[in-house]
């Protein structure tokens, strides 16, 4: 680790030594010495010693059952601790590169660049118009239990304290002892969940991220923005403005997840109201101790009535209302339905009195006090509202078609599913403009569902269970009024009728507002026809009036990459955005693009700033919606300082993309990219879909089959219990390949496309280099591809094949490994070798700990599949999956 920042090296070493001592204390010196032997062999093997590698593998294959779990846990926990040290180190003012950290001054840099093109007043105006919404999702990528996450957070806090105090500080030993205790607690806890978290538990985790981190990060961000504006002579942002908001899919995403029901959605919505009221109540209790002043404006005195301490009286009145709201929300969550208890129903109930206090303090010479904690609370209200996040509902289009079809069958109108698109639209538009009710009385709603007999069947509509669940969800939305639910997302939306059917069912279920309906285009075909389909939709006068000339469209990254390969998907997403922007402009519609990006490159992930600046010119325009998934939420928003940094990156990137958009792609670039994308998808599908041996190989070489035993999240690993790759969710598809260090979804197809282009004539090679240097989209794609290829390891992958794959399937692995080796040659033609020595050293250190986990996992898979085995084999297997995920810094 000699090339690492010495301070980071010391942190990793200290945590490793404390872990080693804990293992020795708990498991005995024999296990500790075994782990140390494995570590030293791995270090020498990783540096090129074939003899040590052979000895390492022999040692791991010969482990006794009672040695498997402690060995797997030892290496897994070290990788988790190394991650913690690296994450905390990015916040340390003592690190070597702190002065040169571009992320710390990212807003300054963007402001400086922007003011060369617009004046300060225009910049202020643009900041007021920014609408950035980060959507927290609980896809099953967070492999670490929340019990341990809390302890990891405490380690970060202690490391930060140790950074800030002198080496001879009298309490330094106390803090080191605290680290020792935390590591001991972690080691003696079960790191693997025994049960899948429920959708409600996932939602509570999302609320905890807001409570522990974002609650502080948002006012800090707004304070920094205000300071930059006032220093440049401009006004602070209005108190009711916040450029960043948060939404959630936790408890609302029912696409292929039978565990998310209408009752779950209702409970999550009311729990959000309870949590928001509780957080504001805590804030106002703190403010009450501070705002004891007696001077106040007549306006505030008139509002609170006769009293000696007007600010405290104002806050006390609000606190009573918040307490009532908590009681109401708790009862509503328990009942899964609206309680009749009194509660705060509108944001103005809180906002306006606090604004009165703020103005009163400013006008009576106490502006400094006004701009302290009171301003923070007001800024939080502008960001989080009464619900913390706005919940999205996501459902498959077929489920809505089924409801309409059952209604048509009940009314004897015909077979809706057999109608063509024009017939469907005609029927739906006619019903949308009808004044009579659409839904007939239901036996269940009338309390007669238990009555059997012909009379009930004739008099009451009895929808199927699936149909009834859709309608119950829509009634939950209706209960919420204008609060809580933000959008209705339709998966696999293919025609305008898919959107119209949702609008009709929402209205029929009592949803009075025009809830935004958002089509999600996921597969390659969906992306290619998205512009055409939205053009049809915007051509309908009824819908144009319904949407109010504003529209969201969601671009799916995960399933499009699984369908067509990463290169073809990325290019299709780029072109789709261009087409959607042009379509919206033709129809005078304000468009917001919603990016369903995953955490990994294989699912559209990567650094946020580069991803935003790589979007087509004009596609951002001050508005951006993007998912933040699984473990990436913890990495980017787990601590207030990290969250502030991440929020600044989003803000700066959207501002830059809006006011200083990249130039349009040259025609030559587009032609070459189109050619490569076509070659890529042909190559990808040729392997994944057309090679009959591919799926059997995938299931043999990777732990895909065993993933179902890992309690990652509330959603099943598959949309359907049976089926091939198409039925597998994108996350386990990525996870399985990452476990064996092949990362196939990120590069397959692109390898042949880039090889052909980079080995073509001199003109094409020169064009590739020009695209990398001048086209942000292409440069970002190549850099991400280079980064993920850098995490692959053909020797590790080959070892899995040797242990797990039958002779008749070995050729698939051999071909994949050969193709992986060639892609690096293509990348070196396009861009120079990456000179990030620090990152290379970090991966080298990780290799010492990940390599034994890979060799051990292959042995565990072999044992689990071919022989009677002790339960410890499966437990060690689960731990190895978690450890490798930690070593690679991502799961799915």
Q: pLDDT tens for residues 203-215?
A: 998 898 999 999 9
Do 566 and 691 belong together in one domain?
Answer: no
Please check whether residue 83 lies inside any domain of the structure: no
Using DSSP's 3-state secondary structure scheme, residue 248 falls into strand
Tens digit of each residue's pLDDT (9 = 90 or more) over 667-719: 999 999 999 999 999 999 999 999 999 999 999 999 998 887 765 544 554 55
Do 828 and 811 belong together in one domain?
Answer: yes
Residue partners of 630: CB distance under 8 A and separation at least 6: 137, 138, 139, 140, 141, 142, 599, 713, 731, 891, 892
Please check whether residue 658 lies inside any domain of the structure: no
When pLDDT is averaged across residues 574-599 and rounded to a whole number, the result is 92
Do 360 and 505 belong together in one domain?
Answer: no
Which residue is associated with the tokens 């923005």? 225
Question: Which of 130, 210, 231, 84 minimizes the C-alpha distance to 648?
Answer: 130
Using DSSP's 3-state secondary structure scheme, residue 593 falls into strand
When pLDDT is averaged across residues 147-166 and rounded to a whole number, the result is 87
Among 562, 595, 609, 798, which one carries the catalytic annotation?
562
Domain boundary among 388, 420, 443: 388
Domain containing 126 equals 106-145+190-388
Which residue is associated with the tokens 């512009």? 531
Do 381 and 470 belong together in one domain?
Answer: no
Tens digit of each residue's pLDDT (9 = 90 or more) over 623-646: 999 998 877 888 888 888 889 999
pTM: 0.90
Report the 3 state secondary structure along 84-129: HHHHHHCCCCCCCCCCCCCCCCHHHHHHHHHCCCCCHHHHHHHHHH
The structure tokens listed for 262 are 């209408």
Are 534 and 583 in contact, with CB atoms under 8 Å apart?
yes
Q: Using CA atoms, how far apart are residues 651 and 469, in angstroms rounded to an integer? A: 39
Domain boundary among 388, 405, 423: 388
Question: Which of 61, 72, 81 minimizes the C-alpha distance to 16?
Answer: 81
Phi/psi at 91 (5° precision):
-95, -10
Are 392 and 473 in contact, with CB atoms under 8 Å apart?
no
Tens digit of each residue's pLDDT (9 = 90 or more) over 709-750: 765 544 554 555 555 566 566 667 888 999 999 999 999 999
Q: What is the pLDDT of residue 631?
A: 72
When pLDDT is averaged across residues 497-514 and rounded to a whole number, the result is 96
Do 582 and 469 belong together in one domain?
Answer: yes
Q: What is the radius of gyration, based on Cα positions, of the chain?
A: 29
Please report, in angstroms and rounded to a whole number, the separation of the first and last CA atoms in the chain.
Answer: 28
Phi/psi at 218 (5° precision):
-65, -55
Are 489 and 554 in contact, with CB atoms under 8 Å apart?
yes
Q: What is the DSSP secondary structure assignment for residue 719, as one 8-state letter? A: S
Using DSSP's 3-state secondary structure scheme, residue 492 falls into coil
Among 89, 139, 321, 648, which one carries the catalytic annotation?
139
| Res. 534: pLDDT tops 90 | yes
Are 316 and 258 in contact, with CB atoms under 8 Å apart?
no
| Res. 448: pLDDT tops 60 | no
886: part of which helix (H) or strand (E)? helix 871-888
Do 373 and 401 belong together in one domain?
Answer: no
Sign of CA dihedral 618, 621, 626, 632: positive
Question: Which of 758, 755, 713 minimizes the C-alpha distance to 891?
Answer: 713
DSSP structure string for 429-464: HHHHT--S-SSPPBTTTTT-TT--SHHHHHHSB---
Do 384 and 395 belong together in one domain?
Answer: no
Q: Using CA atoms, how far apart are residues 29 and 48, in angstroms rounded to an integer? A: 29
Do 334 and 401 belong together in one domain?
Answer: no
Beta bridge partners of 489: 394, 518
Please check whether residue 875 lies inside any domain of the structure: no
Q: What is the pLDDT of residue 609?
A: 84
Q: 435 or 218: whose pLDDT is higher?
A: 218
Question: Which of 109, 62, 211 minimizes the C-alpha distance to 609?
Answer: 109
Residue partners of 94: CB distance under 8 A and separation at least 6: 7, 163
Is 46 assigned a catalytic role?
Answer: no
Q: 759 or 179: whose pLDDT is higher?
A: 179
Please check whether residue 286 lies inside any domain of the structure: yes
| Res. 201: pLDDT tops 50 | yes
Pick from 247-256, 518-527, 578-587 the range whose average pLDDT is largest: 578-587
Q: What is the pLDDT of residue 602?
A: 41
Q: Using CA atoms, how far apart are residues 211 and 740, in angstroms rounded to an integer? A: 37
Please check whether residue 825 lies inside any domain of the structure: yes
- Degrees (nearest 5) of the Cα angle 381, 384, 388? 135
Helix, strand, coil fractions of the chain, as percent rounded to 5: 65, 5, 30
| Res. 274: pLDDT tops 50 | yes
Do 371 and 295 belong together in one domain?
Answer: yes
When pLDDT is averaged across residues 64-81 and rounded to a whole number, the result is 94
Pick from 335-339, 385-389, 438-442, 609-613 the range whose average pLDDT is largest: 385-389
Do 611 and 687 belong together in one domain?
Answer: no
Task: State the CB neighbour count (10 A cutoff) for residue 785.
Answer: 26
Please check whether residue 39 lies inside any domain of the structure: no
Q: What is the pLDDT of residue 890?
A: 56
Domain boundary among 354, 388, 422: 388
Q: What is the pLDDT of residue 140?
A: 47
Do 376 and 413 belong together in one domain?
Answer: no
Write down the mean pLDDT value for the chain: 89
Do 242 and 292 belong together in one domain?
Answer: yes
Is 336 assigned a catalytic role?
Answer: no
Q: Using CA atoms, how far apart are residues 874 and 819, in angstroms rounded to an integer? A: 32
- Degrees (nearest 5) of the Cα angle 155, 157, 163? 105
Please check whether residue 50 lies inside any domain of the structure: no
Task: State the CB neighbour count (10 A cutoff) for residue 94.
Answer: 11
The structure tokens listed for 506 are 């929402």
> pLDDT-based confidence at 450, cuts 50/70/90?
very low
- Degrees (nearest 5) of the Cα angle 37, 40, 45? 120
What domain count does the chain have? 3
Q: What is the DSSP secondary structure assignment for residue 63, as one 8-state letter? A: -
Please check whether residue 65 lies inside any domain of the structure: no
CA–centroid distance for 643 within its chain: 14
Q: Using CA atoms, how far apart are residues 845 and 79, in angstroms rounded to an integer? A: 10
Are 577 and 555 in contact, with CB atoms under 8 Å apart?
yes
Question: Which of 593, 638, 854 minimizes the C-alpha distance to 61?
Answer: 854
Q: Using CA atoms, how far apart are residues 260 and 396, in angstroms rounded to an integer? A: 13
Tens digit of each residue's pLDDT (9 = 90 or more) over 830-882: 987 654 544 555 566 688 899 999 999 999 999 999 878 888 999 999 999 98
CATH number where 226 lies: 1.20.1440.90
């Amino acid at each position: 680790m000699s090339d690492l920042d010495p301070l980071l090296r010391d942190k990793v070493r200290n945590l490793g030594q404390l872990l080693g001592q804990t293992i020795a204390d708990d498991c005995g010196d024999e296990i500790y010495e075994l782990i140390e032997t494995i570590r030293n062999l791995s270090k020498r093997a990783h540096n090129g010693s074939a003899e040590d590698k052979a000895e390492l593998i022999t040692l791991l294959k010969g482990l006794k059952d009672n040695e498997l779990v402690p060995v797997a846990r030892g290496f897994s926990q070290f990788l988790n601790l190394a991650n913690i040290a690296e994450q905390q180190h990015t916040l340390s003012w003592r690190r070597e590169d702190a002065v040169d950290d571009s992320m710390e001054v990212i807003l300054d840099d963007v402001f400086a660049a922007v003011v060369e093109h617009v004046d300060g007043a225009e910049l202020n105006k643009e900041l007021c118009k920014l609408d950035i919404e980060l959507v927290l999702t609980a896809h099953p990528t967070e492999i670490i239990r929340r019990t341990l996450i809390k302890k990891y957070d405490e380690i970060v806090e202690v490391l930060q304290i140790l950074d800030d105090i002198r080496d001879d500080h009298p309490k330094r030993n106390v803090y080191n002892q605290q680290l020792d205790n935390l590591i001991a607690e972690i080691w003696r806890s079960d790191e693997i969940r025994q049960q899948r978290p429920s959708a409600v538990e996932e939602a509570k985790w999302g609320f905890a991220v807001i409570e522990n981190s974002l609650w502080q990060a948002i006012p800090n961000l707004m304070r920094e923005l205000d300071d930059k504006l006032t220093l440049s002579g401009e006004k602070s942002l209005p108190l009711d403005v916040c450029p960043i908001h948060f939404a959630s899919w936790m408890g609302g995403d029912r696409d292929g997840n039978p565990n998310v029901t209408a009752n779950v959605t209702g409970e999550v919505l009311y729990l959000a109201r309870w949590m928001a009221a509780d957080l504001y109540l805590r804030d106002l209790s703190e403010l009450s101790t501070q705002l004891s002043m007696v001077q106040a404006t007549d306006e505030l005195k008139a509002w609170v009535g006769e009293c000696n301490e007007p600010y405290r009286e104002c806050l006390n009145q609000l606190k009573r209302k918040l307490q009532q709201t908590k009681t109401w929300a708790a009862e509503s969550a328990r009942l899964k339905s609206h309680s009749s208890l009194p509660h705060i129903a509108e944001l103005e109930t809180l906002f306006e009195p606090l604004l009165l206090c703020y103005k009163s303090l400013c006008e009576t010479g106490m502006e400094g006090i006004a701009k302290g904690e009171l301003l923070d609370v007001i800024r939080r209200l502008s960001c989080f509202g009464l619900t913390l996040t706005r919940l999205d509902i996501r459902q498959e289009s077929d489920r809505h078609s089924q409801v309409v079809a059952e209604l048509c069958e009940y009314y004897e109108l015909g077979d809706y599913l057999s109608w063509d698109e024009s017939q469907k639209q005609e029927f739906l538009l006619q019903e949308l403009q009808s004044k009579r009710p659409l839904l007939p009385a239901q036996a269940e709603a009338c309390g007669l569902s238990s009555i059997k007999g012909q009379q009930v069947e004739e008099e009451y509509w009895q929808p199927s269970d699936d149909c009834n669940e859709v309608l119950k969800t829509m009634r939950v939305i209706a209960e919420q009024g204008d609060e809580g639910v933000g959008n209705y997302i339709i998966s696999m939306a293919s025609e305008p009728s898919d959107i119209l059917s949702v609008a009709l069912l929402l209205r029929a279920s009592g949803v009075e507002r025009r809830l935004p309906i958002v089509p999600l285009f996921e597969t390659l075909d969906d992306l290619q026809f998205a512009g055409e389909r939205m053009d049809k939709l915007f051509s309908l006068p009824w819908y144009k009036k319904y949407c109010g000339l504003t529209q969201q469209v969601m671009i799916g990254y995960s399933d499009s990459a699984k369908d067509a390969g990463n290169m073809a998907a990325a290019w299709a997403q780029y072109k789709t955005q261009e087409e959607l922007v042009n379509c919206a402009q033709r129809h005078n519609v304000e468009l917001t693009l919603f990016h369903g990006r995953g955490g990994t490159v294989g699912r559209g992930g990567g650094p946020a700033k580069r991803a935003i600046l790589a979007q087509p010119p004009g596609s951002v325009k001050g508005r951006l919606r993007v998912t933040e998934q699984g473990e990436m939420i913890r990495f980017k928003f787990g601590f207030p300082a990290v969250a502030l940094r991440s929020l600044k990156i989003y803000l700066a990137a959207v501002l830059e993309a809006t006011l200083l958009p990249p130039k349009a792609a040259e025609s030559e670039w587009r032609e070459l990219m189109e050619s490569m994308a076509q070659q890529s998808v042909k190559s990808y599908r040729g392997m994944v879909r057309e090679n009959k041996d591919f799926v059997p190989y995938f299931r043999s070489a990777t732990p895909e089959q065993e993933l179902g035993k890992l309690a990652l999240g509330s959603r099943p690993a598959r949309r359907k219990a049976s089926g091939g790759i198409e039925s597998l969710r994108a996350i386990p598809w990525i996870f399985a390949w990452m476990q064996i260090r092949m990362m196939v979804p990120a590069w397959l197809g692109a390898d042949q496309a880039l090889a052909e282009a980079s080995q073509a004539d001199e003109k094409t090679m020169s064009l590739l280099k020009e695209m990398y240097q001048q086209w942000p989209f292409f440069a970002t794609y190549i850099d991400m591809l280079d980064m993920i290829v850098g995490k692959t390891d053909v020797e590790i992958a080959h070892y899995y094949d040797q242990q797990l794959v039958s002779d008749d399937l070995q050729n698939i692995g051999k071909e994949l490994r050969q193709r992986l080796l060639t892609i690096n040659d293509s990348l070196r033609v396009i861009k120079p070798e990456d000179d990030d020595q620090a990152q290379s050293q970090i991966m080298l250190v990780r290799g010492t700990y990940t390599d034994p986990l890979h060799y051990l996992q292959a042995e565990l898979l072999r044992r689990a599949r071919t022989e009677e085995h002790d339960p410890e084999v499966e437990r060690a297997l689960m731990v190895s999956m978690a450890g490798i995920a930690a070593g690679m810094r991502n799961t799915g």
